[in-house]
Structure 1
């Protein structure tokens, strides 16, 4: 057995690709859930031990639901040059097609794209076979973030490419048809790690934390914490020449991997929320990711939700930790992305002392209430993906989809929860234990050119 924590327990890679049909369902699947839940993860091939969890090759897991049935489960490696050992660095510089493609998977303009922030996206077929690298017809000149934002009003996809070398940050907009219509280098950006960002109705919000390029880091992911790296938020108008007007605001030291949401409040201030870690929290996670964990710790043990309120008129930022529960992977009803929302969701983790446990969390930002669906001992849920209900009238009318890694049963299930009350609606039993992963998406049939297999 490997001594690397990211190859053991919930993160033990699966060794092959399978397809299973006619999955067993407990409860009643809503008939309106007709589409695919596709989730990505790091899953190195047998015999391969990556030097960092993030270096493991990407594998997508898909579950096909249709009219109350769970028709299939299948898993496929994303077949990039990296899967066969091709080097990222070449004599001509980095090869942006040499991707793990193991962070996220989205749909835009009818294409399924597997994402990793250091590379081009990789297109997949609806049955998860690899098509190849996608560079937006040559308009994508850099790597692409694994966390693009699709504007629910315009259908535009906003994203960025970041690099430890100049230009450090390039911003892109793709229209609803999948064509890049705008790109701009962002002045003032640094080599700080930029994993996620936010959009509001009127602004783009970039986050630079204390984790930055570190050439002395030999894990294969050349980043580390630096007290000298300023922690900042960049605010840019969503206009054609917005890059000329970006403003950077200093914030407290920390690092954010994932944004919950951002919006303009009634006073015109920008409100941004998401889990963050301090120096100790980052180091605890990093030690686990590189295979040298402290006893009893795992990632996210000091990850707490923080809120920033940016008053661009006054030039001030108010910030505070708004919850003491260790959480990560925030999600919401994406119809509210960029607008003020009431509810958001997350996955809870045991804290640094081992208190608490795994669960799916719901926050009511109006009342301050927090509700947790406990999934059980040795059961780790994946990011909870929100799917709106047909004819929804309330923000939380819908479903949460999460895949459980169950170590005691050596099995996995897809849980379908009522997003309003977190009650279980249905359980789909999967044919194997699915490796704990990172991000995924619900892809309704209507989003694909051909929903049939």
Structure 2
């Protein structure tokens, strides 16, 4: 029997694909919700993997229609790595951009639903009725994308443009490239960014007029890569330093201004915005003092804020909350704009210590925090904000999969985002375990 933490309990993979209809519900599903809740995560096809992050991607989806939980289905993303065992690099050492496991996020842009991982091209998923979550194939923006694509692209709510980046570490790879796609899905900008060394860059910040990169001290470790050690070939290297790079969106090929900060690491950003005059940028993220061996997330990440003053070339850093948290989200219609509320999850990582699962709502104006705590043995994941009105930042719900150790099954839990202390609005009981995974979205039906 395995004793590997990321293959046990809430993290244990499932071994098949299911389609189950007419799910049982406790409470009442808001009748205005019609669409799919999708969440991606690692689920190794062979039931084993060297690291939690390396399992084959599996998307889990629940279909809601006007107050009914119509179906649950889970599907592996049929990547080249899954179907033909593709290696990360070919015999010449060049990266195979088809070879990622597409296990980190699932987003929709320009009518396409994409499963993402930062080491390769995205994979497009079929969402047509009857074919939901089938894999269409790798997507490279009609041959224009020549780098991997981050798992954390950001859609500008004003222009509809998709902003993202790709990073690399091999001799044939650019360490960092900034990309932008139009609202119609056309890749319009691919601009290399000069950084001192290849680092693990998982996320970034977007404001209404700027893009902000994070050059942090998780540095590519060639001996570790050659040795094939467990985990990812990056090593915590505080001597590398840490800095934030600000690029003007109106001058995408212009200079990047770098601002030094204290050594730290950020897997996920919450949001960013700027003052009306564009002088002060405010960034929110879950910050770690350091990251452990093999990039294991067993430290204590918490909410921090950076304020960059472009006029004085200064950065102010401050911790906003000391609760352990990860997977921060906002109402995505406010991405890059001032958002009063942010949300994050407290959950146990495979290597981490036990903790009580909770979802937190941060009031970024007042500093107050309200939490929904789950019973012992119930492990929540990332909570996605689902709007209840056409007004960005207004009322809404939070959706998350919650694993129950007592039953070895999971629920889709819907919480009232305005009253997190209340019991769940609805709990949709699923026929099986949804392993703790990464990121997802509510995809309402498009008319």
Partner of 2:311: 313
Which runs of structure 2 are paired with 1:8-27 in the superposition (5 Å)? 8-27=8-27
CA distance in 1, matches of 2:204, 2:86: 30
Distance 1:129 1:347 in 2: 29
1:117 and 1:146 in contact (8 A); partners too = yes
Moved more, 30-39 or 166-175: 166-175
For 1:123, the equivalent position in structure 2 comes to 124
The one-character-per-residue Cα deviations of 1:295-350 (angstroms, maximum 9, x if unpaired) are: xxxx4541111111011110111101111101000000111110111100000146
Gaps (5+ residues) in structure 1? 290-298, 448-453
The Cα shift of 1:396 comes to 4.0
Task: Go from structure 1 to structure 2 and tell me whether the alpha carbon gap of 1:387 and 1:209 turns closer, same or farther (over 3 Å shift).
Answer: same
Look up the SS of the partner of 1:228 in the other structure.
Answer: helix
Is 1:398 equivalent to 2:396 in the alignment? Answer: yes
Give how far 1:94 is off.
Answer: 1.2
Counterpart of 1:64? 63
Change (3 A) 1:227 1:373: same
1:28 aligned onto 2:28:
yes
Structure-2 separation of matches of 1:157 and 1:198: 13
Instruction: Please give the residue correspondences for 1:21-420 in structure 2 after superposition, counting only pairs within 5 Å.
Output: 21-46=21-46, 48-84=47-83, 85-92=85-92, 93-126=94-127, 127-165=132-170, 166-188=173-195, 190-217=197-224, 218-219=229-230, 221-239=232-250, 241-265=251-275, 268-279=279-290, 282-283=291-292, 286=294, 289=296, 299-349=297-347, 356-392=355-391, 395-420=393-418
> Which digits, 9 at most, give the CA deviation of each residue in 1:135-159, with x for residues without a partner?
0000101000000000111111011
The number of residue pairs the alignment matches comes to 431
Q: State how far apart, in whole Å, the 1-side matches of 2:253 and 2:292 are.
A: 33
Whether the 8 Å contact between 1:214 and 1:222 is mirrored in structure 2 is yes
Does the 8 Å contact 2:80/2:99 carry over to 1? yes
RMSD between aligned residues: 1.8
Structure 2 regions of 5+ residues with no counterpart? none
Deviation at 1:168, TM superposition (A): 1.0
SS, match of residue 410 in structure 2: strand
Q: Distance in 2 between matches of 1:205 and 1:11?
A: 33
Whole-Å Cα distance in 1 between the matches of residues 197 and 253 of structure 2?
15
**C-alpha deviation, 1:353, in angstroms:** 9.7
State the TM-score, normalized to the length of structure 2: 0.93
Distance 1:353 1:246 in 2: 37
How much has 1:189 moved relative to structure 2? 5.4
Which of structure 1's runs of 4+ aligned residues deviate more than 6 A?
350-353
The answer on whether the counterparts of 2:292 and 2:298 sit within 8 Å (CA) in structure 1 is: no
Counterparts of 2:377 and 2:219, CA distance in 1: 34
Using the alignment, how far apart are the partners of 1:158 and 1:206 within structure 2?
12
What's the secondary structure of 1:82's corresponding residue? Answer: helix
Give, in whole Å, the separation in 2 of the partners of 1:206 and 1:56: 27
Cα deviation for residue 182 of structure 1 reads 1.5
CA distance in 2, matches of 1:66, 1:49: 36
Residues 301 and 349 in structure 1, CA contact (< 8 A), matched pair in contact too: no
Q: TM-score w.r.t. structure 1 length?
A: 0.91
